[in-house]
Structure 1
Amino acid sequence: MNKDILVAADDHEGGLCLPKSSARLTQESGVGYNKASSLSFSAESRRQIHYCRAPLPSLSLRRSVSRRQNPRSLSLLNPLNKCGRMSEPSKVIHIRNVGHEIAESDLLQLLQPFGMVSKIVMLRAKNQALLQMEDLHASVSALQYYTSVQPSIRGRNVYMQFSSHQELTTDQSSHGRNSDQVCHASGSEPNRILLVTIHHMIYPITVEILHQVFKAYGFVEKIVTFQKSAGFQALIQYHSRQEAVEAFGSLHGRNIYDGCCQLDIQYSNLSELQVHYNNDRSRDFTNPSLPTEQRPRASQQGYLDPANLYAFQQAGASYAQMGRVAMIAAAFGGTLPHGVTGTNERCTLIVSNLNTDKIDEDKLFNLFSLYGNIVRIKILRNKPDHALVEMADGLQAELAVHYLKGSILFGKKLEVNYSKYPNITPAPDAHDYLNSSINRFNSNVVKNYRHCCSPTKMIHISALPQDISEEAILNHVSEHGTVLNTKLFEVNGKRQALILFKSEEEATEALVSKHASTLEGNTIRISFSQMQSI
């Protein structure tokens, strides 16, 4: 039996979630759904997207149809649904096996090559999602492609089919009127206390931040935060059950910050929260006279000690350093790359075995800026095949060492190590990039960390002129090696390109020589793509 459930349909651009409207959809045939929210990240955060055959950034594709099968023989207009019944084509695509590590932006980038995605609903409790394409042709094209190619996001296969709904509709109905449906979706009785789990937590979440988010739906009496195996969690007590129901309906599945810190909300079975201290881990807003405890005792389980956040206290890292480590780890899918500790505090690198005939400071900047902001670069005049590169912090320096050590640049194998010097002293022979607008990590920090990788054969070019031709792009980069394939495409109205070279060395030479160069009046941006083919 189909049941209506509530989902938030606020199409805001990042920042703290605020209630605006709600959307209603009918449950998929034979599948139970929970509530979730719609698109909540900015267009700017989707600027640089790396693609393979169908544009996919951090997504990998592999053939799911054996050689004996003929993909053309598969029914594309009437694919079987989960219950074995035939589904009619629809603008709405139903996606299954959507894990918590998969963001809305990942799903959008999976389908945007085939047309505009007009609406998205994340059904977190069931690991599912609904995406509505702008027209039927776009959804049919997408399913035609993914019938023969298995889509995989962050190492997880996802599965697509037409939804039984022809479109997702918006409804301004109140949350209270549909509280029974909300209750059914959550699997528990509505309660004035909410259990909130934060997924993809890139930035630290405090009592103050949670209060700012949840107070928009009613009077928040108490908040308690703690760390469990499921991750960072909080119990939030409202004055009334109705306020909690409204917050549940509006915030479940939403992001506190743009693209991260996702709210997974359930009703708690507790009847009253006990708060003994007003501090950064717990707060009783009805009793401001409670004492503040400076440090919790070891026996006080259930409270998260900020000094232990992200479990880096034994390494002696500062709280600010731990925040950066957590952000980078989250960008890489929850853990740092193998071999990266996140505890290095040395910012300056010594790079040796450089090709003295072809290298200069700007080329080194173009390469090392892939892994963090550059402060200064200095080529040693007494050792012209050596250079010092000062990164903005130790984590970025560690990433550069991890990904670039042993790479080939202009026929030479690079040696990249930590320098004994803490920084590069400003001097006429030291190039200063501290305030350079072409430092890549001035904006879109999480996205840039996500795309960090060792040099590959494929480069991704963005910020191209709108009327650029493939021939003009090839003329600009082909002097650096043999181009095997190219792809010119458009994302959110902006032209981008993928160029596949014969070798990693050729692609690296093109990147260091042409990043931030001018092409038909535009300053283009080049990075390595992790895609293996176009």
Structure 2
Amino acid sequence: MNKDILVAADDHEGGLCLPKSSARLTQESGVGYNKASSLSFSAESRRQIHYCRAPLPSLSLRRSVSRRQNPRSLSLLNPLNKCGRMSEPSKVIHIRNVGHEIAESDLLQLLQPFGMVSKIVMLRAKNQALLQMEDLHASVSALQYYTSVQPSIRGRNVYMQFSSHQELTTDQSSHGRNSDQGSEPNRILLVTIHHMIYPITVEILHQVFKAYGFVEKIVTFQKSAGFQALIQYHSRQEAVEAFGSLHGRNIYDGCCQLDIQYSNLSELQVHYNNDRSRDFTNPSLPTEQRPRASQQGYLDPANLYAFQQAGASYAQMGRVAMIAAAFGGTLPHGVTGTNERCTLIVSNLNTDKIDEDKLFNLFSLYGNIVRIKILRNKPDHALVEMADGLQAELAVHYLKGSILFGKKLEVNYSKYPNITPAPDAHDYLNSSINRFNSNVVKNYRHCCSPTKMIHISALPQDISEEAILNHVSEHGTVLNTKLFEVNGKRQALILFKSEEEATEALVSKHASTLEGNTIRISFSQMQSI
């Protein structure tokens, strides 16, 4: 599907476009909750996936598709499977070379332009996936398109063909399953970490999962499947919400992917509070001397913090850990760091005063801006594409409900991943005034909601307080000012009567020219001058 169509679809959303996670979509479609593992299939079904093991049937035995039932499918030469055999059209699409870094949501974005995906099963052990489209026409259209266009996800080529299955069914028995794994919703989650480049601790897991409810207990352990954890919530509903929001997401960019199933345990037993297990309902439990990392066969999760304590560079830490350090050790309350959606939809804009550059000046406080587009059909709506998901999450966290030009902003995630380059989309990708091109940690440290006070830097050396006031006072009542120097560079603090006035001054005057200098404006967290 043309990306312009995807972007235009946001014109009709009314600003509320919080997409369901891919895990929730598949839960509602009926495949069951335990879809991330090939273990949800019977042994017979798994054997059928290996097409090379079965003899080729005669063409006379192959089921044909009626021209009357599906005339378009007959125009498609059935793609060859990996054995060189022609596959019969099916609603089920078999995808190979699905790396651990690829999430369900990535696969959904690849196929949803052709129709609704009703079921999805990730065969992680085989780097494969099975996706069932709503009807045969949708799967044929997808395969027809990807026969001429090489599908690629996160830089990895994936390969598609019709599955030998006409329908996906799940085997509800526990044959071959992990003994801790169940299929029914439960308040205890079994979490497997794939592609674990950076170590994961109880504290990190708690930070990620506590956003969805009260986490009572966490136990971590190492098994053949990799690093795993059991996470117990206070209620089943909290666990269901965490499952739907986090399954398939990465803790850090490009690694540490969460593969979540429901456990069949009824209660976790925790005997020690340490970096391997924690009972948050009983802080008085004793600690235990931890074995050396070399004895365990995997990296000591405490090393994540040891990098910082030893004075090592931030580049050695996981990106989220680096940003958390900029905020004083933990991300702001309510920010998980796991969001992967980069494009936001902003609504309830003042159409008489807003433009793309003013939106850039505001949203660039929380990350680099790629593109901004004000929607033609709804001029009080705009799309803002940030450089990454965490920056988008910070913008939503700090700006939702802020007042701009007399209107209360609604800031939500768009359902589409990016803004298509177009004449009516302003491109800021290579802009020199993006704030996060340098001093990244410092810029994260200064992230905050709009305040009454603005900080102005890059001022001319001989600038006067009067000249600064003349430049910004049109936007509101100035209560106090302070002109000062830091490392020989002139800076100023301006206190307005209200946050709305300070916000208007920032969006209107950031990156403007004052006596030959391009000035920079941000919010100050100081309460008074």
* Structure-2 change in CA distance of 1:136 and 1:267 (3 Å): closer
Separation of aligned partners in 1, 2:35 and 2:426? 53
Say whether the 8 Å CA contact 1:40–1:259 is kept in structure 2: no
* Structure-2 change in CA distance of 1:284 and 1:522 (3 Å): same
Say whether the 8 Å CA contact 1:295–1:305 is kept in structure 2: no
Structure 2 length as normaliser, TM-score?
A: 0.44
Deviations along 1:17-62, whole A, 9 cap, x unmatched?
9999999999999999999999999999999999999999999999
Say whether the 8 Å CA contact 1:8–1:21 is kept in structure 2: no
Equivalent residue number for residue 98 of structure 1? 98
Deviations along 1:387-420, whole A, 9 cap, x unmatched?
0000000000000000000000000000000001
* Structure-2 change in CA distance of 1:401 and 1:86 (3 Å): closer
Deviations along 1:272-317, whole A, 9 cap, x unmatched?
9999999999999999999999999999349526899589999999
* Structure-2 change in CA distance of 1:401 and 1:31 (3 Å): closer
* Structure-2 change in CA distance of 1:23 and 1:446 (3 Å): farther
Cα displacement (A) at 1:324: 1.9
Bigger drift between 216-225 and 484-493 goes to: 216-225
Bigger drift between 397-406 and 231-240 goes to: 231-240
Separation of aligned partners in 2, 1:354 and 1:225? 47
Deviations along 1:98-141, whole A, 9 cap, x unmatched?
99999999999999999999999999999999999999999999
Cα displacement (A) at 1:421: 1.0
Bigger drift between 332-341 and 261-270 goes to: 261-270
Separation of aligned partners in 2, 1:147 and 1:192? 43
Say whether the 8 Å CA contact 1:408–1:505 is kept in structure 2: yes
* Structure-2 change in CA distance of 1:115 and 1:329 (3 Å): farther
Equivalent residue number for residue 29 of structure 1? 29
Say whether the 8 Å CA contact 2:208–2:338 is kept in structure 1: no
Bigger drift between 256-265 and 41-50 goes to: 41-50
Cα displacement (A) at 1:354: 0.1
Q: Which runs of 5+ in 2 are unaligned?
A: none
Separation of aligned partners in 2, 1:169 and 1:71? 27
Say whether the 8 Å CA contact 2:455–2:523 is kept in structure 1: yes
Bigger drift between 394-403 and 215-224 goes to: 215-224
Deviations along 1:306-352, whole A, 9 cap, x unmatched?
89958999999999998221111000000000000000000000000
* Structure-2 change in CA distance of 1:66 and 1:78 (3 Å): closer
Separation of aligned partners in 1, 2:57 and 2:403? 25
Bigger drift between 328-337 and 71-80 goes to: 71-80
Say whether the 8 Å CA contact 2:207–2:336 is kept in structure 1: no
More helix by share: 2
Match of 1:219 among 193, 214, 218: 214
Bigger drift between 165-174 and 478-487 goes to: 165-174
Cα displacement (A) at 1:243: 54
Separation of aligned partners in 1, 2:524 and 2:318? 27
Aligned length: 529
Cα displacement (A) at 1:488: 0.1
Separation of aligned partners in 2, 1:433 and 1:30? 42
Say whether the 8 Å CA contact 2:101–2:254 is kept in structure 1: no
Say whether the 8 Å CA contact 1:7–1:23 is kept in structure 2: no
Say whether the 8 Å CA contact 1:90–1:136 is kept in structure 2: yes
SS at the partner of 1:33? Answer: coil
Bigger drift between 518-527 and 64-73 goes to: 64-73
Cα displacement (A) at 1:263: 32
Say whether the 8 Å CA contact 2:194–2:256 is kept in structure 1: yes
Say whether the 8 Å CA contact 2:17–2:415 is kept in structure 1: no
* Structure-2 change in CA distance of 1:168 and 1:213 (3 Å): farther
Say whether the 8 Å CA contact 1:191–1:241 is kept in structure 2: yes
Deviations along 1:1-28, whole A, 9 cap, x unmatched?
9999999999999999999999999999
Separation of aligned partners in 1, 2:516 and 2:224? 52
Separation of aligned partners in 1, 2:240 and 2:153? 33
Deviations along 1:139-159, whole A, 9 cap, x unmatched?
999999999999999999999
Separation of aligned partners in 2, 1:331 and 1:502? 29
SS at the partner of 2:119? Answer: strand
Bigger drift between 2-11 and 375-384 goes to: 2-11
Bigger drift between 140-149 and 477-486 goes to: 140-149
* Structure-2 change in CA distance of 1:329 and 1:499 (3 Å): same
Bigger drift between 10-19 and 366-375 goes to: 10-19
Root mean square deviation of aligned Cα: 21.6
1:415 paired to 2:410? yes
Cα displacement (A) at 1:220: 43
Say whether the 8 Å CA contact 2:458–2:518 is kept in structure 1: yes
Equivalent residue number for residue 281 of structure 1? 276
Separation of aligned partners in 1, 2:50 and 2:454? 9
Equivalent residue number for residue 506 of structure 1? 501
Separation of aligned partners in 2, 1:139 and 1:468? 66
Bigger drift between 44-53 and 438-447 goes to: 44-53
